[in-house]
Amino acid sequence: MADSYIDPRETLIYGAFARDQLAAVCLGLVPALDGAVKFAIAEQAKADAAMKEVLDRQPAAAVSEGDPLTEARDSLVRFGKYVESIKGAPVALSAFFDRDAPSTAARRRLTKLVALVQHVAAKIEDNRSHLRDYKSWLEEFRGHHETLSAMDRASRDQKLAGAMVRPELAAAREAWLGVYTANKALITGLLRHAGRVGLLPLVFDDLAEQHRAAGVSDEAPVKPVEPVEPVDDKPTA
């Protein structure tokens, strides 16, 4: 069954992110399997291109005046550079962005950006004694949170209204999810060989735990394996 978590237009965001991270994170981890990583990148690129072809034939989505997404992403990158420029580094960049670089975190989809700007605003307030310009930054990120939250609510309403998606688009999305899910399985195996399976969420952004909605996944639930009682095959006296 199709997963409602990744909508058709978001496939392009997830696909591009995965391709970039496959190259950045996975190439070289197990040199003998670099061919498999390149295969996954190529297959994802083909799936993304096919999805884009179908999306380009759909009615264009309305673009908000002023492009709040671009403005919020720009703020995240600028704030990251500001934190790094503070003499003596009294606050670690990871306090705001966890393991991600600001430029990587800023590429998240709308729902995750809402959570991210809220998180950054909260951490700015927590570390205000170390941030000389904390008031202006706090105001900026609170403004982004308000604007993006409204956009996210409107987007969810639009998804609900358009639940009966065009058959062509639904089929394209299913095909895309098939490739994306297959690549997850392939890269999971590679990372297990490398002893680095914890890196998987850095490649496939829907697995990232920091801003993920509870209970949302595109994976089928795995039933626990029941323990099997040992059979005593010794002959009885």
**Per-residue CA distances from 154 to 111, 119, 158, 159, 211 (Å):** 11, 21, 6, 9, 19
Low-confidence winner among 109-123, 139-153, 178-192, 199-213 (lowest mean pLDDT): 199-213
The pLDDT of residue 232: 55
Predicted confidence (pLDDT) per residue in 63-100, tens digit: 444 689 999 999 999 999 999 999 898 999 999 998 88
Instruction: Name the band, by pLDDT with cuts 50, 70 and 90, for residue 193.
Output: very high
The pLDDT of residue 153: 84
The pLDDT of residue 231: 52
The two three-digit tokens of residue 95, written as one number: 């306090």
Query: Which of 192-220 are b and which e, b meaning 16 or more Cβ less than 10 Å from the residue's Cβ?
Result: eeeeeeebbbbbbbbebeebbeeeeebee
